[in-house]
């Protein structure tokens, strides 16, 4: 890992209406627009969906790191995530994010240890740690 601080740059191109295009060096562009709930077309990534996706991706990448350091392999992870947007104190914001990870572990792996890894992954994910929104984890662990 490179020493801190790390800096990231993203570019946005957009006009007075229509889709915006998000870009950064070395990865495909991403089309963004308002979600249907905010009168957008609902057929592109919205800031709301991108925030939840960032939490999910960070959760997985943090779990991988913790699992490696703990010498615990897992078979797969699927995460369904929902976020509630509401108005609080005159500000529209996410009021809760719920992660529902389904972790598949090999038979013989301690499920309690796997559960602790999931909990630690949420707490140490840099995206989650950067948000003031409460994040709840409802895990499911199965063995295969």
Instruction: Give 44-74 pLDDT, tens digit per residue.
Output: 999 999 999 999 999 999 999 999 999 999 9
Provide the whole-model pTM. Answer: 0.94
Q: 3-state SS of 41-107? A: CCCCECHHHHHHHHHHHHHHHHHHHHHHHHCCCCCEEEEEEEEEEEEECCEEEEEEEEEEEEEEECC
The pLDDT score that the predictor gives to residue 38 is 96
**What is the percent of the chain with per-residue pLDDT over 90, rounded to a whole number?**
99
Q: What is the mean pLDDT of residues 85-91?
A: 96
The pLDDT score that the predictor gives to residue 10 is 98
Domains and CATH numbers, the chain: 1-45 (2.20.25), 47-143 (3.30.300.20)
């Amino acid at each position: 890992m490179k020493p801190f601080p790390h800096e990231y740059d993203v570019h946005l191109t957009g006009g007075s209406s229509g889709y915006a295009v998000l870009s950064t060096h070395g990865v495909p562009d991403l089309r963004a627009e308002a979600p249907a709930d905010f009168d957008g077309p609902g057929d592109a990534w919205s800031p709301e969906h991108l925030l939840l996706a960032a939490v999910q991706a960070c959760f997985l990448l943090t779990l991988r790191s913790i699992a490696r350091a703990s010498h615990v392999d897992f078979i797969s992870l699927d995460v369904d995530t929902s976020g509630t947007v509401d108005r609080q104190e005159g500000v529209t914001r996410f009021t809760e994010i719920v992660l529902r990870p389904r972790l598949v572990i090999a038979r013989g792996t301690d499920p309690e240890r796997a559960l602790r890894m999931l909990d630690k992954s949420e707490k140490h994910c840099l995206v989650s740690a950067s948000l003031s929104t409460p994040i709840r984890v409802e895990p499911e662990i199965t063995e295969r």
